[in-house]
Structure 1
Amino acid sequence: MALDYQQVDMPVAFSQADAEWIKQQLLSLAPAARQKAIQRYAAVYQESFEAEPVSYRKENRARHEANTRLRLFVRNHGRALQGYTAEPPLAGTPPRS
């Protein structure tokens, strides 16, 4: 029985509650983009954590900001980085569905 396990580098700063979701998102990226996303995730998490003045809201704010950024990065750039692109529509032609 083979286990489906891949080692993934994790950001320096993240919540353990989000670890599985973060791994899933990172695995959908190419290795070069993954490193960029890991570094930026940790930076956004730390910045948001330090920017929140209310102590009991710090972790939630940091998780929200970093996870939102990662989700949008994967959605907007993940497929393009894998080579899924399309020709832009020509001017005056009806939009493709």
Structure 2
Amino acid sequence: MPSVFSPEDAIWIQDMLMKLRPTVRRKVALKYAEAYQIAFDAEMVSYKQDNCGRREANTRLRNFVDTYAEASDGICQPAQAFKGPQAKGLGQ
């Protein structure tokens, strides 16, 4: 688990981290805490700080897991077929 996070997000964070390889989890947890703290400190209004930190860190974690979790397990989609300039009428 990250060193800094909102207790309300603990179960969700743990679920997201479990989708990643064990070798990546620690680094992602450190980056989560870093993103949370930077956003928290950047917000000037005290009662908005926690929400700002949560939003930034959770968004980054969700995007990272959605993008890289399957790829790190070797699951990937086939590449799209390349359509050269002739296909668009630009090769002349």
Paired with 2:24 and 2:64, the residues of 1 have a C-alpha distance of: 10
Q: Deviations over 1:24-52 (max 9, x none)?
A: 00001001221121010000000001000
Aligned length: 84
Q: Which runs of 4+ in 1 moved over 6 A?
A: none
1:83 aligns with 2:38: no
Return 5+ residue gaps in structure 2 as ranges.
85-92
| 2:31 alignment partner in structure 1 | 40
Matched letter for residue 88 of structure 1:
A
- CA RMSD after TM alignment: 1.3
Give percent identity, aligned residues only: 43
1:56 aligns with 2:75: no
Return 5+ residue gaps in structure 1 as ranges.
1-9
Could you state the TM-score of these two structures normalised by the residue count of structure 2?
Answer: 0.86
Paired with 1:15 and 1:67, the residues of 2 have a C-alpha distance of: 10
